[in-house]
């Protein structure tokens, strides 16, 4: 499982937000026994935050030179935060309690995508040629495709309870075409969204079956 870490890149943080982010880190690290020897000492970090904050305020209605100074002070502050962030990650070594106590924003751990919800709508309509049908699913978030099961029920026997005994077709999009069906036969269709995890264990959340006579 991927461990969380302190985020050490602040390039995408907005100018106005960087002061708050840096101040929180300073407040958390200043008296934190878990991180006693950061490479950028707290007095220096405090000066870096103050210098940037002052330059930021001046740049709002200032000259191009004021903006250039603000940008330069920002780079200095980002460098300080990155340097201490690397130290935090090294010392914490994945310990979530220590990481949260550092004040640094943390990376997110992607949640595994398992069995997805079933499509809210599933339609089967005539295809262009005899022996074909078009299937259409509503989109399911985080799905990588759709699996459609179908079964010829014209002989009066009920569909098997085991999904592996149905015919199947995978689609990478919400719509697709199934060919090779018997004209005049009644088929039953059902669909489910797929994901890598669901494919590994062959567990899907299928829609209610739809019956249709194939032209």
Domain range enclosing 77: 15-101
Residue 192 inside a domain? The answer is yes
Residue 6 inside a domain? The answer is no
> Do 191 and 129 sit in the same domain of this protein?
yes
* pLDDT, tens only, 150-188: 999 987 778 888 898 999 999 999 999 999 999 999 999
| 167 sits in which H/E element | strand 167-171
Give the chain's domain count. 2
> Do 95 and 148 sit in the same domain of this protein?
no
> Do 94 and 126 sit in the same domain of this protein?
no
**10 Å Cβ neighbour count for 163?**
17
For residue 44, the model assigns a pLDDT of: 98
> Do 92 and 22 sit in the same domain of this protein?
yes
For residue 113, the model assigns a pLDDT of: 63
pLDDT tops 90 at residue 103: yes
Nearest to 119 by CA among 95, 151, 93, 145: 145
Reported pTM: 0.55
> Do 19 and 84 sit in the same domain of this protein?
yes
Supply the CATH number for residue 143's domain: 2.60.40.10
Calculate the average pLDDT of the chain: 93
* pLDDT, tens only, 69-80: 999 999 999 999
> Do 142 and 96 sit in the same domain of this protein?
no
């Amino acid at each position: 499982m991927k461990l969380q870490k302190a985020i050490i890149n602040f390039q995408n943080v907005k100018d106005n937000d960087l002061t708050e982010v840096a101040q929180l880190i300073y407040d958390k690290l200043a008296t934190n026994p878990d991180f006693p020897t950061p490479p950028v000492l707290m007095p220096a970090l405090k000066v870096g935050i103050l210098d940037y904050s002052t330059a930021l305020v001046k740049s709002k209605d200032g000259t191009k030179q004021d903006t250039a100074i603000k940008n330069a002070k920002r780079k200095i502050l980002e460098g300080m935060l990155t340097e201490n962030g690397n130290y935090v990650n090294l010392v914490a070594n994945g310990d979530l309690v220590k990481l949260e106590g550092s004040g640094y924003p943390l990376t997110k751990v992607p949640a595994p995508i398992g069995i997805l919800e079933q499509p809210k709508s599933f339609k089967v309509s005539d295809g262009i040629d005899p022996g074909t049908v078009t299937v259409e699913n509503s989109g399911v978030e985080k799905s990588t495709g759709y699996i459609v099961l179908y079964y010829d029920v014209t002989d009066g026997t009920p569909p098997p309870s085991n999904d592996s005994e149905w015919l199947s077709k995978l689609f990478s999009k919400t719509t697709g075409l199934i060919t090779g069906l018997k004209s005049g036969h009644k088929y039953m269709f059902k669909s489910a969204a797929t994901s890598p995890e669901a494919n590994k264990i062959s567990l899907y959340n299928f829609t209610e079956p739809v019956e249709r006579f194939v032209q």
